[in-house]
Amino acid sequence: MATSRAADRALLQIGEVAERVGLSLRTVRYYEEVGLVIPSARTEGRFRLYSHADVERLDLVKRMKPLGLTLEAMADLLDLFERTRDLADRQPTEQRAITDKLSGYAKRADERIMRIERDLAQARELRARLVAELAAAATIR
């Protein structure tokens, strides 16, 4: 059975990964193509092999999608996250650069959230209109 086979291994191949994270094979491959999530190994026959960390990264990417960043920006942000781990060991100049970028993304996230809230309000208004049209039609029949 495919499940038990793969579950025992430290490295998963693309099908398992895609199913766990909830992305298509095409998407996972595309994310590699743009340098967003690179599998940490390959088999002899060039099958992609994903580590646990790779899978986590993919999952984070998927959950970040509502932020509406480009994949390039996402790659940048994920790098920032990794660089904040040992932030204390870095040059003050770099520390500034990192935190500045992070606060830039935080700002963008705020704007995005406000946009989504507006979209939600609009969508609800239009649903109301649809329901109203339906009600009007029902009285005629």
The site partner of 110 among a second copy, DNA, none (C-beta below 5 to 8 Å per kind) is: a second copy
Which residue, 51 or 95, has its beta carbon nearer to DNA? 51
Q: Give whole-number Cα distances, 22 to 79, 98, 100, 108, in Å.
A: 23, 31, 32, 26
Among 7, 34, 41, 116, binds a second copy (CB under 8 A): 116
Three-state DSSP class for residue 92: helix
Q: Decide which of DNA, a second copy, none touches 141; Cβ closer than 5 to 8 Å per partner kind.
A: a second copy
Q: What is the DSSP string of 62-82?
A: HHHGGG---HHHHHHHHHHHH
- Residue 45 or 92: the one with the smaller Cβ distance to DNA is 45
**Which of 11, 102, 8 lies closest to 53 in space, CA to CA?**
11
26 interacts with DNA by CB under 7 A: yes
We find the least distance from the C-beta atom of residue 115 to DNA, in angstroms, to be 14
